[in-house]
Structure 1
Amino acid sequence: MNILFTAEYDEALIEEVKQLGDVHIQGWAKGIGKLSEKELIPLVDNVEVIVTSYDDITKAIIDAAPKLELIFCTRATPVNVDVDYAQEKGIKVLFTPGRNSDSTAELTIGLMLSIARKIPFAYKQLKKGNYTASSNKGNRAKEGLKRDVVWGVGPQSPYVVFKGIELKGRTLGIIGYGSIGRRVAAIARGFGMRILVFDPYVSNVDVDTLITEKVGIEELLIESDFISVHLKVSKETENFINKSSFAKMKDSAYFINCSRAAVVDEEDLIEALRTKQIAGAGLDVFSTEPIPESHPFIQELDNVVITPHIAGATTDVLTNHTKMIIQELDRFKKEEPLLYEYKQ
């Protein structure tokens, strides 16, 4: 089995992949980056399997690979593969659902903590030299008192400026209760949060507990202190969160998005943050990526925490999808039913 392998991988597991076929490592797997159509075409003439993360597997690539039987895309959705044409040609398309669910869920909680406790803002001020002392003076206690370590008292002290809120006792609204949404809920329960869920494709039986409840979208927006979106992009979900949504939220609410920017009307979100219609946001995705340096999230707004689309960027994700690749290639070789075949 000839395998063109351009996806990231766990180096400790690559030998197991090589035991399943003749593996030709190229592109992103070698740190070269995403390969163009022109670069890929000469590489696929004799391959039966393509394992990729980000390369565009187009009609031209598929036509240039007469022996191709399997395309394995190490993503939650194979958006960079012409799935319709592949299936028309009898080529199976695999994907890796859940490979980065824990990673994304943990960053979601990280953004919640960051914006709720103003962690990045406090860090930034300390690195700029604010709230610091000119020398190491120590903290000597007055006679009869025990040593104290207060950074300052008054309206401009960090204890006041960076005063936040706890997650415990707050209500988290989760929009989309799939693999990631469920993991976010599991972690949030550990913080003592109440969970509201909106997902028309999940039954109450799969959601409702003493502290988790399936509700309508309006109730979720009105009651939640934190709202986290975990939706795939579709005609139904594009701009699902918009001006009307923000108008229903508490002015003390925080909005979190580690899914896709397209599910939110970004201009409406900017206006909601600008006018303090909501308290703040934690965002990992943007309508244009990389985000422009002049963007209001960078240049203007002081109530948003942003990260550069890194929710799935952990070494554990590579381990997860490498294990999934090994398992599926082994099943494919043995002509057993595949677990991760993508169906349109």
Structure 2
Amino acid sequence: MKIVFTAEYAGDLQAFRQLGELVVDGWAIGKPKFTPQQLIALAHDADVIVTSYDNVTAEVIAACPQLKVIACTRANPVNIDTAAAKARGIKVLFTPGRNADAAAELTFGLMLALVRHIPQAHAALKRGDFTRDAQQEQQTSAGLKRDVVWDVTPESPYEVFKGSELRNKTLGLIGYGNIGRRVARIARAFGMAILVVDPFVAAEEINEPGLQKTTLDALFREADIVSLHLSSGAHSDGLVNAALLGSMKPGALLINTSRAAVVVEADLIDALRKGPLGGAALDVYHQEPLWRDHPFVSELENVIITPHIAGATRESIEKHTAMIAADLQRFVAGEPLLYQWK
């Protein structure tokens, strides 16, 4: 069996070598993403393609007559023509949940950054704001203990960056899958109450003290922070619109580490400019990369932005490498596949 491996990976790939001839190329060794023609030249006689970002199109599939398995090391094989693969009887593997911990942790990092104004405080000090021209020892009056304080004025960082605590706040989660459940677990450790909207999860699986399933309208009305954890599709694209954003509490916050398409971007920008939204933290965008004069970059100070890095951890790569290796071993052994795209 010939395996063409162009995916990001961790480890020595010995599990793949044990399955047959292994050709490692492309992104796996630091090259740019392959064009379909380049992929065909490499994989025309392959039994298996393992990729992260290369587009496995109908043209590629047709040019690889021996192909039996296409493995995509992502939570959604968006770069695979799954219909063309299915028509040929080719198995498509993917890695659901491989970056769930990473995305949940970034979500909470963004949440803390929003409520405590961490990026703004960091940037201010890096610019030299609130700093002295030179080192200077602070004097302490006789009879008093040394007081460690930055400044005591209305313009001090203590006042400028004064934020809120997460304890006793209400977090609204839209989507209660691998990532949403992990965010809920972390939020409960912070003492937050949690509301959930997910049409695919029954209330009986969710409801317990401090954690309740609710309606979309109620969640947006009642939550102090709303975090999005749902996939893009006909059921969800454009879900978060002006009506929902306008129903939020004054100063409420929105976090999106899932898919940009679930939010109407123009409505979000309007709500950030005029209220009631107090701020947002975003890791995904309708067009990526963002351009320099986009309002999220050039205008809106109440937005924290990161460049689609929710899943970018070394541990995520280790997980997806192990998941694909294990499912290929099952394929060779004729066992049921655990990560087959249906």
| TM-score tier after normalising by the smaller chain length | over 0.9
Aligned to 1:255: 254
Q: 1:18-167, aligned counterparts within 5 Å?
A: 18-167=17-166
1:6 aligns to 2:6 (yes or no): yes
Aligned-residue RMSD, C-alpha? 0.8
1:297 aligns to 2:296 (yes or no): yes
Q: Is the 8 A contact 2:227 2:255 kept in 1?
A: yes
Distance 1:212 1:13, change over 3 A: farther
The CA distance in 2 between the partners of 1:38 and 1:329, in whole Å, is: 25
The CA distance in 2 between the partners of 1:68 and 1:322, in whole Å, is: 20
Larger deviation, residues 323-332 vs 14-23: 14-23
- Tell me by how many angstroms 1:17 deviates: 2.1
Q: Is the 8 A contact 2:256 2:282 kept in 1?
A: yes
Aligned to 2:317: 318
Q: Is the 8 A contact 1:104 1:312 kept in 2?
A: yes
| Cα offsets for 1:166-212 (capped at 9, x unmatched) | 11110000001111100110111111110000011100111111110
Q: Is the 8 A contact 1:13 1:322 kept in 2?
A: no
The CA distance in 1 between the partners of 2:217 and 2:50, in whole Å, is: 42
The CA distance in 1 between the partners of 2:123 and 2:221, in whole Å, is: 32
TM-score normalised to the size of structure 1?
0.98
Larger deviation, residues 240-249 vs 15-24: 15-24
Aligned to 2:239: 240
The CA distance in 1 between the partners of 2:137 and 2:201, in whole Å, is: 57
- Tell me by how many angstroms 1:8 deviates: 0.3
Specify the SS of the correspondent of 2:159.
helix
Specify the SS of the correspondent of 1:104.
helix
The CA distance in 1 between the partners of 2:26 and 2:212, in whole Å, is: 46
- Tell me by how many angstroms 1:139 deviates: 2.3
- Tell me by how many angstroms 1:15 deviates: 2.0
Larger deviation, residues 281-290 vs 135-144: 135-144
Aligned to 1:220: 219
Structure 1 residues without counterparts, runs of 5 or longer: none
TM-score normalised to the size of structure 2?
0.99
- Aligned letter for 1:233? S
The CA distance in 1 between the partners of 2:17 and 2:256, in whole Å, is: 38
The CA distance in 2 between the partners of 1:33 and 1:113, in whole Å, is: 35
Q: Is the 8 A contact 1:116 1:165 kept in 2?
A: yes
| Cα offsets for 1:128-177 (capped at 9, x unmatched) | 00001111112231100000111111211000000000111100000011
- Tell me by how many angstroms 1:13 deviates: 4.2
| Cα offsets for 1:253-297 (capped at 9, x unmatched) | 100000010000011101100113211000000111000110111
- Tell me by how many angstroms 1:323 deviates: 0.7
The CA distance in 2 between the partners of 1:177 and 1:171, in whole Å, is: 16
Aligned to 1:307: 306
Specify the SS of the correspondent of 1:174.
strand
1:199 aligns to 2:198 (yes or no): yes
Q: Is the 8 A contact 1:57 1:82 kept in 2?
A: yes
The CA distance in 2 between the partners of 1:38 and 1:178, in whole Å, is: 37
Q: Give the fraction of aligned pairs with identical amino acids, expressed as a percent.
A: 51
The CA distance in 2 between the partners of 1:81 and 1:184, in whole Å, is: 29
The CA distance in 1 between the partners of 2:296 and 2:154, in whole Å, is: 26
Q: How many corresponding residue pairs? A: 342
